Amino acid sequence: MFTGLLAELEKNLKKLPGIGSKSAQRLAMFLISNHQDDALKLADSIRDAVEQYTNCSVCNILTEYEICKFCSDAHRNEQLLCIVENTQDVFLIENTQEFNGKYYVLNNLLSPIDGIGPDEISFPQLISLVKEREIEEVVLALSPSAEGESTINFLAAELTEFVQKITRLSTGLPFGGDIEYTNKLTLGNALIRRYSV
């Protein structure tokens, strides 16, 4: 439908997660119509964020600084390390207000088919961090997908030598959930990870 620069804008907007053709067209028209000042401010803020943000030199979280606010916070538990896939996961966990340790961001999950091995998840850097801090507990907060499970198994096997306690997020039935509407995988995980009452 669109041509020229407008088609290029639509194509680039479709690269954003959750944006299909119709949404991209609507956003493109919105940006070039009566909201040009807002569109230019948006473009500037995107450019500034992309240019200024980098990975924390300690934990890999995306940050504006060399060392992120979590790594530099002396009030957080240095011996408790939560391993996540990406920066967004850190903020999801922080929103629970249930965790006061430090983080480590893998930025990928193991996937041999896609050529993602231990080096692509910064595993050597993780081992160095675990040894240096004498971590007592590692929390593996990874998605229970095929890649997540293989990453959890790999990390658990490799870190056992250096860490006293390795835990993972519980999976299974959500509070208030109904067994009737639970899928097979979730129900299976709930049975496997059942605990005493």
Question: Which range among 26-35, 97-106, 136-145 has the greatest average pLDDT?
Answer: 97-106
Whole-model pTM: value is: 0.82
- Of the chain, the end-to-end C-alpha distance in Å amounts to 61
Per-residue pLDDT band at 47 (split at 50, 70, 90): very high
Q: What's the CA angle centered on 146, arms 177 and 142, to 5 degrees? A: 65
Average pLDDT, whole number, for the chain?
A: 89
Please give, one letter per residue, the 3-state secondary structure of 101-133. Answer: EEEEECCCCCEHHHCECHHHHCHHHHHHHHHHH
Cα–Cα distances in Å, from 137 out to 16, 34, 163?
36, 54, 6
Q: Which residues of 7-39 are buried (b: 16+ CB within 10 A; e: fewer)?
A: eebbeebeeeeeeeeeebbebbeebeeeeeeeb
pLDDT band at 35; cut points 50, 70, 90:
confident
How many CA atoms within 13 Å lie on the side-chain side of 2?
18
What is the bridge-based pairing of β-strands 77-84 and 101-105? parallel
Give 188's pLDDT tier (boundaries 50, 70, 90): confident
Dist. CA 153–CA 147, nearest whole Å: 10
What is the total residue count of the chain? Answer: 197
Residue of 173 and 21 predicted with greater confidence? 21
Structural domains of the chain, ranges and CATH numbers in brackets: 4-52 (1.10.8.420), 75-168 (3.40.1360.10)
User: For residue 113, what pLDDT is reported?
Assistant: 86
Pairing outcome for strands 54-55 and 62-63: antiparallel
Q: Is residue 114 scored above 90 in pLDDT?
A: no
Q: What pLDDT, on a 0 to 100 scale, did the predictor assign at position 76? A: 97
Q: Please give the average per-residue pLDDT across 62-72, as a whole number.
A: 96
> Over 90: is that where the pLDDT of 125 sits?
yes
Residue pointed to by tokens 């803020």:
45
pLDDT of the residue at 196: 58
116 burial type by CB count under 10 A (0-12 exposed, 13-18 middle, 19+ buried): middle
Amino acid identity of residue 127, one-letter, is I
For the beta carbon of residue 82, count every other beta carbon within 10 angstroms.
24
Mean pLDDT, residues 99-111 = 94
Query: How confident is the model at residue 183, as a pLDDT?
Result: 77
